[in-house]
Amino acid sequence: MRLAGRRVVLGVSGGIASYKACVLARRLAEAGALVDVVLTQGGAQFIGPVTFEGLTGRPVLTSLWDRGPALAHIRLAQDAELIVIAPATANLIARAAQGMADDLLTAILLARTVPVLVAPAMNDRMYAHPATQQNLATLRERGWTMVGPAVGQLAEGPSDLPGRMSEPEEILVQVERLLRGPQSRLRGKRVVVTAGPTREALDPVRVITNRSSGRMGYALAEAAFARGAAVLLISGPTTLAPPPGIEVQRVESTEQLQQGVARAVKDADVLMMAAAPADFRPAAKGREKRDRAAGNTTLALEPTPDILETTKPFRRKGAVIVGFAFETGEKAARAKRKLTSKGLDLLVVNRADEPGAGAEVETNRVTLLSANGERELPLMSKRDVAEQVCEAVEALL
Ligand code: CTP
């Protein structure tokens, strides 16, 4: 569990988006965090404390005057590692910016010694109001981190201006970055991840491609982002949703992927080539769709450029280069040679022929190869494999 034992205070103020705070509380608890929910008076009008107690398994605090240990606000402000306010209404933001302490949540914020993450949620005009913008600027100057707001449906109808609270998954990712970043060597590092297959056009309709789903690369991008890295994900065609918070650049062919990597690699501290670029492309692309009536056809194919090879002259000194190899049967032994021939610091070997491993599945079974030796990992989710790869990269940085 990625947030096992981490202590988070979740402040919930009175907005309709507080229903999403329930999902956030649940996700935090599932990730292993100890979540202390603090409801403002307004927050408690929307969702009762019992709901949050059920979701977090911990008592919920609502008032400075609750019975229980004295000075709960001082204790919570000191014991927590992070305070998250979701939703943060215009009123809560104004009171926090003024340094008021007229309820438990604002008192905790004044006594705080830990980072604060704010997820604003309000009517779009209230958000755009100079008073709110000034208050948010004050909080940012104080070192508080903002997530959102997003554009989209508000309680009062659709809007094309920011106001809607960010989705729980996006807030969770920022929570992870704030909690895990300070302990990671990937924090602040520029990480380029490639993912998915590429597609080579035969004609305007047909393509050559492979079974790569992109899941491994997307999981790597998420894992590096959760450790505080600045991530660029260069993705071939996949059906996956862009991971929250991460810059995604879409490409189609191996040549386009090569161009994207060539641009990014110069500044990258880490390159993770998880993409499965098509190794061959049609020697000539037909202008017109081939007619089936033409009968048997022979395709002339030419090899695509080896992207890792072409990056060699542009790699930054000290950059960590991670390659992936799909191998079957006896060829697995061949993978070791790729470590040196492709100039890699780490090679992740996928056994494409084992159940639960390879393309099109959620899990993977890999071996990590580096100059330090070989480590075989058991079958695990691709996200867990990504965590292991990031750990190995941290050791190499
Ligand atoms: N790769 C690349 N450029 C290509 C094809 C692959 O940079 N045109 C990268 C992949 O992203 C991966 C690594 O090379 O990180 C190894 O991929 P693999 O397909 O195993 O290597 P190939 O060099 O294509 O080897 P093979 O001879 O086994 O096809």
Cα distances from 358 to residues 84, 216, 328, in angstroms, run: 38, 9, 10
For 52-93, how does the pLDDT look when each residue is reduced to its tens digit (9 = 90+)? Answer: 999 999 999 888 777 666 667 777 778 899 999 999 999 999
Residue 363's pLDDT band, with cuts at 50, 70 and 90, is: confident
Question: Which secondary-structure segment (H or E) carries 91?
Answer: helix 90-98
Band of residue 292 on the pLDDT scale cut at 50, 70, 90: confident
**Per-residue pLDDT at 67:** 65
pLDDT of 332: 58
Phi-psi region of 6 (alpha: psi -120 to 50; beta: other; left: phi over 0): beta
What whole-number distance in Å separates Cα of residue 381 and Cα of residue 365?
9
Pocket of ligand 1 (CB under 6 A): 254, 273, 275, 277, 279, 304, 306-308, 323-326
Measured distance between the N- and C-terminal CA atoms of the chain, rounded to whole angstroms: 24
What is residue 349's three-state secondary structure?
A: strand
Angle of the 104-111 helix axis to the 90-98 helix axis, nearest 10: 40
SS3 of residue 320 by DSSP: strand
**What's the predicted TM-score (pTM) here?**
0.91
Which protein residue has the closest C-alpha to ligand 1 atom 20? Answer: 325
Give alpha helix (H) positions in 164-208: 168-180
Candidates 209, 237, 224; CA nearest to 390 is: 224
pLDDT-based confidence at residue 364 (cuts at 50, 70, 90): confident
Instruction: Convert 225-291 into a string of H (helix), E (strand) and C (coil).
Output: HHCCCEEEEEECCCCCCCCCCCEEEECCCHHHHHHHHHHHHCCCCEEEECCECCCEEECCCCCCCCC
Give the ligand 1 atom nearest the CA of 334: 28
Alpha-carbon gap, residue 36 to 113, rounded angstroms: 16
Is the pLDDT confidence value at 328 over 80?
A: no
Pocket test for ligand 1, best of 200, 255, 322, 342 (most atoms within 8 A of CB): 342
Q: Is 123 a catalytic residue?
A: no
Give the span between the Cα atoms of 181 and 170, in whole angstroms. Answer: 16
Give, using CA atoms, the residue closest to atom 29 of ligand 1: 279
CA of 337 to the centre of ligand 1 (A): 12
Distance CA 100, CA 88 (A): 15
Q: Which domains does the chain show, CATH number per domain?
A: 7-178 (3.40.50.1950), 184-286+300-396 (3.40.50.10300)
**Whole-number Cα distances in Å, 98 to 78, 107, 136, 163, 326:** 21, 12, 11, 21, 57
- Residues pairing with 324 in the sheet: 348
Peptide bond into 149 cis (omega under 30): yes
Residues 284, 302 contacting (CB under 8 angstroms): no
Q: Whose CA is nearest to atom 6 of ligand 1?
A: 277
C-alpha distances in Å from residue 257, one per residue of 90, 234, 251, 330, 341: 44, 7, 6, 30, 21
Phi, psi at residue 369, to the nearest 5°?
A: -115, 135
Tokens of 149: 């707001």
Going by C-alpha positions, the residue among 100, 114, 178, 104 that lies closest to residue 146 is: 178
Instruction: Say which amino acid occupies 138.
Output: T
User: Which of 46, 49, 134, 52 lies closest to 90, judged by CA?
Assistant: 134
229 CA distance to ligand 1 middle (Å): 25
pLDDT (average), residues 299-327: 93
Burial of 301 (0-12, 13-18, 19+ CB in 10 A): middle
Rounded distance, CA 175 to CA 29, Å? 12
Task: Identify the residue whose C-alpha is closest to ligand 1 atom 18.
Answer: 325
- Residue 203, classed as helix, strand or coil, is coil
pLDDT for residue 330: 63
CB atoms within 10 A of CB 356: 12
Q: What are phi and psi of 47, to 5 degrees?
A: -130, 130
Say what the pLDDT of residue 355 is. Answer: 75
- Return the half-sphere exposure (C-beta side, CA atoms, 13 A cut-off) of residue 101: 12
Ligand 1 geometric centre to CA of 323 (Å): 8
- DSSP bridge pairs for 36: 9
Q: Please write the tens of the pLDDT for every residue from 341-360.
A: 899 999 999 877 777 777 77
Mutate which of 306, 320, 326 for ligand 1? The one with the most ligand atoms within 8 Å of its CB, which is 306
- Among 91, 123, 135, 210, the active-site one is 210
Stretch among 19-23, 68-72, 174-178 having the lowest mean pLDDT:
68-72
Task: List the helix and strand counts (H, then E) for the chain.
Answer: 14, 21
Instruction: Note the pLDDT tens digit of each residue in 129-167.
Output: 999 999 999 999 999 999 999 998 888 888 899 999 999
- Give me 365's structure tokens: 């079974």
Angle at 107 between CA 136 and CA 32, to 5 degrees: 85
